[in-house]
């Protein structure tokens, strides 16, 4: 009897099972009714391979499976403790955890809808806008997980459920604490239990390689690759053996150059070459890059998101009309305005929030540098005058202070 029968009561009759809704390598999942709140929930039962069910009770088949059962029960309890610290709209909610029938149960939010994998298999690759919004929402959920001090370690389309079209991240069986640098993955023959080929990076297959947020970034990039192309990338093991990953641009053209860049960076085999955080991942994803001029878009400037150096923008007309984009990074939907006083007149420039912040910092640093250097000069002259007229050595310290003030103001302006 792999599943408990309907109408089975658990946890002192608080939960009544309705029907099974899934099974995996670690357990069984049921749809159930919370009799106290009237809420329909999902209950996950710890039932690892090698165990058997005698009536309602889970029992190990042998000594090895006894150790396995105890290990996975503790994993369920630890998962409950960790999920309880994460609160995000795109992360499944945990309501309860209890022991019964010789095993452990998790009571979670019931999510009804197709997985991302089912959506892609049914309708093909997502359109550009939907793919971008979906991956941004998953990345934000991953940010919350990392900020809570954990790694998910199993990001993939199959573990994202679409609830009214909105993605929600599920399946935290492999979640690990970030500070657990000694985390040991399982051998290659048990790779299905350490992640999913195509989404798990190379370090996740190793026995002692350190894991980091960059490990999840690889899986996030692989998921984005799948959403854009409709196909999962080849495994990191195959790539390490010399098999080339087919670029998303080859499978689906055209593709935004910034998306090609984020895929290239995220799917690096060496973890230190990937974006270190979800913020860096999103920054690359959301910063437009123009590779060549479009003949039908003459006003679109040429630039690269990560180009180095300084640039000067020259207004060719007094009454310039700016497109609905940030004049600095050319991002869509600018949210702020910047007043520019120039020899050609006063202009109101559209800027995104980040670029506006950079401009404010630049203006503030310029003011600090100007007033700091301006004040240091009269202080130095005053110190020299007092020292010469009074014959005292102490006013020289005023000159020293002026020198420090001058170099401090210059350094502040240069650094900012």
Residue 285 has a CB neighbour count (10 Å cut-off) of 23
And the tokens for 279?
A: 């913020």
Residue 176's closest CA among 82, 266, 96, 270? 82
Cα separation, 71 vs 80, in Å, equals 14
Helix (H) or strand (E) holding 407: helix 396-415
pLDDT tens, the chain, 416 aa long: 589 999 999 999 999 999 999 887 678 999 999 999 999 999 999 998 888 899 899 998 876 678 888 989 998 999 999 999 999 999 999 999 999 999 999 999 999 999 999 999 999 999 989 999 999 999 999 999 999 999 999 999 999 999 999 999 998 888 888 655 444 444 333 334 467 999 999 999 887 888 999 999 999 999 999 999 999 999 999 999 999 999 998 998 788 888 999 999 999 999 999 999 999 999 889 887 655 444 444 444 444 444 444 445 566 666 666 666 777 766 666 777 777 766 666 777 787 777 777 777 777 777 878 887 788 888 887 877 777 777 776 777 777 887 888 878 777 776 65
Residues 267 and 126 in one domain: yes
What one-character DSSP code corresponds to residue 292?
S
**Domain for residue 297, yes or no?**
no
Domain of 145, CATH number, reads: 1.10.510.10
Contact criterion met (CB below 8 Å) for 106 and 44? yes
**Domain for residue 335, yes or no?**
no
Helix (H) or strand (E) holding 260: helix 257-266
Instruction: Quote the number of domains for the chain.
Output: 3
For residue 321, the model assigns a pLDDT of: 65
Residues 145 and 237 in one domain: yes
Phi and psi at residue 242, in whole multiples of 5°?
110, 0
And the tokens for 221?
A: 């990039």
Strand-pair partners of 337: 350
Residues 100 and 128 in one domain: no
3-state DSSP call for residue 410?
A: helix
Cα separation, 44 vs 96, in Å, equals 11
Strand-pair partners of 10: 15
Tokens 């609830």 correspond to what residue?
163
Residues 263 and 375 in one domain: no
**Domain for residue 210, yes or no?**
yes
Tokens 């350094």 correspond to what residue?
411
Say which residues have a Cβ less than 8 Å from residue 145's Cβ, sequence separation at least 6.
86, 88, 91, 151, 152, 175, 216
Please state the pTM of the whole predicted model: 0.67
Helical H runs in 12-103? 63-83
**Domain for residue 325, yes or no?**
no
Residues 104 and 164 in one domain: no
Tokens 């998921």 correspond to what residue?
223
User: What does the DSSP assignment read for 201-225?
Assistant: -GGGTSSS----HHHHHHHHHHHHH
Domain of 24, CATH number, reads: 3.30.200.20
Of 286, 305, 340, which one is at a domain's C-terminal end?
Answer: 286
Residue 137's closest CA among 224, 199, 206, 263? 224
Cα separation, 376 vs 381, in Å, equals 9
**Domain for residue 320, yes or no?**
no
Range of the domain at 132: 116-286
Q: Is 313 left (phi over 0), alpha (psi -120 to 50) or beta?
A: beta
User: What does the DSSP assignment read for 386-406?
Assistant: HHHHH--STTHHHHHHHHHHH
Strand pairing category for 160-163 and 336-342: unpaired
Residue 83's closest CA among 214, 161, 177? 177
Cα separation, 393 vs 312, in Å, equals 49
**Domain for residue 235, yes or no?**
yes
Residues 177 and 273 in one domain: yes
**Domain for residue 331, yes or no?**
no
Contact criterion met (CB below 8 Å) for 30 and 21? yes
Give the rounded distance of the alpha carbon of 38 from its chain centre. 35
Residues 210 and 232 in one domain: yes
Cα separation, 340 vs 322, in Å, equals 13
């Amino acid at each position: 009897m792999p599943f408990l029968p309907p109408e089975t009561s658990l946890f002192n009759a608080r939960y009544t099972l309705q029907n099974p809704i899934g099974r995996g390598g670690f357990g069984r999942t049921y749809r159930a009714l919370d009799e106290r709140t009237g809420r329909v929930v999902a209950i996950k039962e710890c039932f690892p391979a090698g165990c058997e069910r005698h009536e309602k009770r889970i029992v190990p088949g042998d000594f090895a499976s006894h150790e396995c059962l105890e290990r996975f029960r503790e994993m369920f309890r630890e998962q409950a403790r960790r999920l309880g610290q994460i609160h995000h709209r795109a992360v499944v909610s945990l309501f309860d955890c209890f022991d019964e029938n010789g095993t452990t149960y998790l009571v979670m939010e019931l999510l009804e809808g197709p997985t991302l994998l089912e959506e892609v298999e049914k309708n093909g690759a997502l359109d550009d806008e939907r793919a971008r919004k979906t991956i941004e929402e998953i990345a934000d959920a991953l940010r919350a997980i990392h900020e809570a001090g954990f790694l998910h370690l199993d990001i993939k389309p199959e573990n994202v459920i679409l609830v009214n079209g909105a993605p929600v991240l599920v399946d935290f069986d492999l979640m690990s604490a970030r500070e657990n640098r000694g985390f040991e993955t399982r051998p290659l023959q048990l790779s299905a239990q350490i992640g999913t080929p195509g989404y798990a990076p190379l370090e996740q297959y190793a026995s002692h390689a350190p894991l980091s947020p960059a490990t999840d970034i690889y899986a996030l990039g692989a998921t984005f690759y799948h959403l854009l192309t409709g196909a999962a990338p080849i495994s990191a093991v195959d790539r390490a053996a010399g098999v080339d990953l087919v670029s998303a641009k080859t499978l689906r053209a055209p593709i935004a150059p910034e998306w090609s860049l984020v895929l290239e960076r995220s799917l690096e085999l060496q973890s230190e070459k990937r974006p270190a955080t979800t913020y860096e991942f999103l920054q690359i994803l959301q910063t437009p890059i123009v590779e060549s001029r479009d003949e039908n878009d003459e006003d679109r400037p040429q630039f690269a998101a990560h180009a180095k150096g300084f640039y000067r923008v020259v207004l060719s007309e007094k009454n310039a009309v700016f497109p609905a984009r940030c004049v600095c990074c050319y991002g869509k939907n600018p949210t702020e305005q910047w007043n520019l006083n120039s020899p050609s007149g006063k202009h109101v420039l559209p800027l995104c929030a980040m670029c506006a912040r950079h401009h404010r910092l630049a203006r503030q640093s310029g003011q600090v540098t100007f007033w700091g250097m301006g004040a240091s000069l009269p202080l130095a002259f005053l110190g020299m005058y007092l020292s010469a007229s009074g014959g005292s050595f102490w006013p020289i310290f005023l000159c020293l202070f002026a020198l420090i003030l001058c170099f401090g103001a210059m350094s502040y302006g240069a650094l900012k």
